[in-house]
Amino acid sequence: MSVWFICLWLCVCGYQGEFVVETSLVGNVLNGLSHFHRVRDRAQFAMCLIRGLGGNLTETSREEFAKQVFSVLPVTSSYC
């Protein structure tokens, strides 16, 4: 799971999307972490990441962010 959290950090620090509400980096990280309750597999991790960190993005930015997450953390049937 530590590799997954490295992905989380890279996604937070590297993504420059359009926010609905201005939020600090700490606020975004805390919002993202709040969705990671009982994550058991890579697919669930990716969805929590997108919901947690993408929740404050515009719809277009959220879609772009989701594409970035799936490119960094590929989810295939072999991971589930």
Alpha helices in 1-80 (DSSP H): 2-14, 25-33, 42-54, 59-72
Domain ranges of the chain: 23-75
Which pLDDT tens digit goes with each residue over 9-65?
666 666 677 888 888 878 877 888 888 888 888 888 888 888 888 888 899 988 988
Read off the tokens for 26.
């700490």
Q: What radius of gyration, in Å, describes the C-alpha atoms of the chain?
A: 12
Task: State if pTM tops 0.85.
Answer: no
Predicted confidence band of residue 7 (pLDDT cuts 50, 70, 90): low
